[in-house]
Chain A
Amino acid sequence: MRRLLNAETLSGAFVLALGGIGLLAIGNLEIGTLNDMGPGYMARAVAWAILAFGAVILLMGLRAEMPPIPAMEWRPALAISLATIAFGATIDRQGIVIATIAMTVLAGFASPITRHRETPILAAALAAGAALVFVVGLKLAIPIWPR
């Protein structure tokens, strides 16, 4: 039996989901007429086109033997996301130094290539550089220390 769940059917499902979210976002936006298009006219056309292409990809995946779903490695994806979120969550109030240190420490967990004894030095260097170049030098409106 052919695998129903393969890279192509998953891709199709992904695109279908995008189209579905699109339609949800559109809600009941006004369509208007061809000579006076409302805000929902083109958006709706595009969302339905996305759905159509999603269906095509899905059906093509069902029709023939396709490569299996590629293996995903979640460790780097998760650690990099958390590191970035930590940066966003702290920079407004805790300042660029703490945000950069938090980001560097979390990012260190993304891969076994990291040498954790290097992390403190790297974090300190990045934080100092960040504060000097971006806040002192380029004068971005970001606090250096917690406020």
Chain B
Amino acid sequence: MDVFANIALGFSVAFTPVNLLFCFFGVLMGTLVGVLPGIGTVATMSMLLPATFHLAPATSLIMLAGIYYGAQYGGSTTAILVKLPGEASSVATVLDGYAMAQKGRAGAALTIAALASLFAGTVSTLLIAMGGPVMAQIALKFGPAEYFSLMLLGLVASVVLASGSIVKAIAMILAGVFLGLIGPDANSPVPRMTFGIAELSEGVNFVAIAVGLYGLSEIILNLEQRLIRTAPVAMRELMPNREEFRRSVGPAIRGTALGSLLGILPGGGPLLASFGAYALEKKISPTPERFGHGAPEGVAAPEAANNAGAQTSFVPLLTLGVPSNAIMAVMAGAMTIQGIAPGPKVMVEHAPLFWGMIASMWIGNFMLVVLNLPLVGLWVKLLQVPYRILYPAILFFCCIGVYSISNSAFDVYLAVGFGIAGYAMIKLGFEPTPLLLGFILGPMMEENLKRTFLLSGGSAAPFYERPISLTLLILTVAMLLLMALPAFKRTRETALSAQ
């Protein structure tokens, strides 16, 4: 089958009324989640997992994917209008988006963001359609050594985008890996490192960690800062003028390219993509001093990149079976619920599902432009709810989200522990994201490390004798060396301190 036959198959699946409806529901939920700070994508998707039991596999994945990329759009709306990034991946958009809004160009910034996202979504969907099968071919050559090296690269890559100290970021990764190892152990019937707590025998609940680190600690930090809502900026016109449009085209294209690339990287995804694209535009711009003061390039590039990165981060999951970030881990969970093992076989054995999901992303991106531009007034209204009303509601969603995963009060207490720890950690300059990624990849790395040494009889040779693994390891080392370079350190600090 060639690409077009595949895409046609995808559209025939995605255009059924049920799938269109759930695609719409997904992007609507996603926009809502993106607009409201304090309710994360991960928590929302996890909460809806039980609801997907009764849906067809393709339908449930289409809906969940919609939440994910919908949140990218919603997050940028609040970033531009009230200087509050609803999602971490829109942090880079705040700088110039809000500055544009203050100059009375809020409508233009929103349109640039939406169009750049749509463009990126379209291109990256095509890229997945063309590149997916190639990746799946490569994936068939992957043994445990390659998987281990790939995940190591992903973890090291995640350090690059963690703000603050590199040493602290690595410490967080390691802590995450350790947390991931708690609980079930393939070799023995006795759960390990649980201090005898029965609730931990299945491992630490992922949602409890995510909600604690991202949900609860964010509420605490917001309250501490006496978060006062900035009044949303009034909007005059939605259309960017010729100058703004001209300035946005190049950054949108480069953002799409960089975002697609960084999204594929394990440990990558929309967050890395948006920061990378912003830094790149600032670097190559002849007038970098305009950045931060309402440069349309600073909106177009990260918005294109985060959407492209969100789409292409499905590639490692669907072709290698390796989730590259927390959200992909939830997607992997959803696939497992439906009895589909994520990996290279998905494309062959579940072709309608794979291509249907890809086609739905394209449709969903169109829905989002329609949802976001004409209805932006509605989202702004939602933002006028004062935080003193909003935070108990967000806290409620955190509680019910964690509790409903397995009706366990223990998980709620666990979330409290992670919330407090997360608050103290953020105050001390630690980042939660490396921890979460370590948590997801840790157990898989252990498994592949074990298998490699078991097959080689205790020799490390497979890691450096197999070309793919060697390449991945060289990339990992190169990245570490790069981070040690003083020049890179400075660039990274300026790029990240921009938040």
Whether B167 contacts A122 by the Cβ 8 Å rule is no
Hey, which chain B residues are within 8 Å of A77, CB to CB? 220, 420, 423
Proximity bits, A59-77, B CB within 8 Å = 1, else 0: 0100000000010110011
Hey, which chain B residues are within 8 Å of A107, CB to CB? 391-392, 395
Hey, which chain B residues are within 8 Å of A35, CB to CB? 453-454, 456-458
How near does chain A come to B457, taking the closest CB pair, in angstroms? 5
Q: Taking CB as reference atom, which chain B residue is nearest A43?
A: B181
Hey, which chain A residues are within 8 Å of B409, CB to CB? 88-89, 91-92
Which of B61-69, B184-192, B232-240, B372-380 sits within the interface?
B184-192
A80 at the interface (CB under 8 A from B): yes
B275 at the interface (CB under 8 A from A): no
Interface residues of A in 89-110 (CB under 8 A from B): 89, 91-92, 96, 99-100, 103-104, 107-108, 110
Contact of A115 (CB < 8 Å), options: B388, B420, B446: B388
Total interface residues on A, using CB and 8 Å?
A: 69
Q: Taking CB as reference atom, which chain B residue is nearest A49?
A: B174
Contact of A76 with B388 at beta-carbon distance under 8 Å, contacts A15-B171, A29-B193 already known: no
A4 at the interface (CB under 8 A from B): no
Contact of A103 with B171 at beta-carbon distance under 8 Å, contacts A37-B449, A142-B407 already known: no
Hey, which chain A residues are within 8 Å of B391, CB to CB? 107, 110-111
Q: Taking CB as reference atom, which chain B residue is nearest A54?
A: B171
Whether A57 contacts B413 by the Cβ 8 Å rule is no
Which of B119-127, B284-292, B302-310, B427-435 sits within the interface?
B427-435
Give Cα A46–Cα B165 distance, bound, in whole angstroms: 19
Give Cα A40–Cα B195 distance, bound, in whole angstroms: 14
Chain B binding site: helix, strand, loop or mixed by DSSP?
helix
Q: Taking CB as reference atom, which chain A residue is nearest B442?
A: A46
Q: How many A-B residue pairs have CB under 8 A?
A: 184
Contact of A84 with B168 at beta-carbon distance under 8 Å, contacts A37-B449, A100-B396 already known: no
Contact of A88 with B412 at beta-carbon distance under 8 Å, contacts A76-B223, A103-B399, A104-B396 already known: yes
Whether A36 contacts B454 by the Cβ 8 Å rule is yes
Task: Pick the most buried of A29, A33, A43: most chain B CB atoms within 10 A of its CB.
Answer: A43
Hey, which chain A residues are within 8 Å of B331, CB to CB? none
Contact of A25 (CB < 8 Å), options: B182, B403, B407, B458: B182
Proximity bits, A24-46, B CB within 8 Å = 1, else 0: 01110110011111111011001
Contact of B388 (CB < 8 Å), options: A38, A72, A111, A138: A111
B416 at the interface (CB under 8 A from A): yes
Q: B residues within 8 Å of A by Cβ? A: 50-51, 165, 167-168, 170-171, 174-175, 177-178, 181-182, 185, 187-188, 192-195, 216, 219-220, 223-224, 226-227, 386-389, 391-393, 395-396, 398-400, 403-404, 407, 409-410, 412-413, 415-416, 419-420, 423-425, 427-430, 442, 445-446, 449-450, 453-454, 456-458
Beyond A42-B445, A110-B220, list 14 extra A-B contacts (CB 8 Å).
Answer: A7-B428, A10-B428, A14-B428, A25-B193, A26-B192, A35-B454, A39-B188, A53-B171, A57-B165, A83-B395, A88-B413, A92-B407, A112-B226, A126-B393
Q: A residues within 8 Å of B by Cβ? A: 7, 10-11, 14-15, 18, 22, 25-27, 29-30, 33-40, 42-43, 46-47, 49-50, 53-54, 56-57, 60, 70, 72-73, 76-77, 80-81, 83-85, 87-89, 91-92, 96, 99-100, 103-104, 107-108, 110-115, 118, 122-123, 126, 130, 134, 138, 140-142
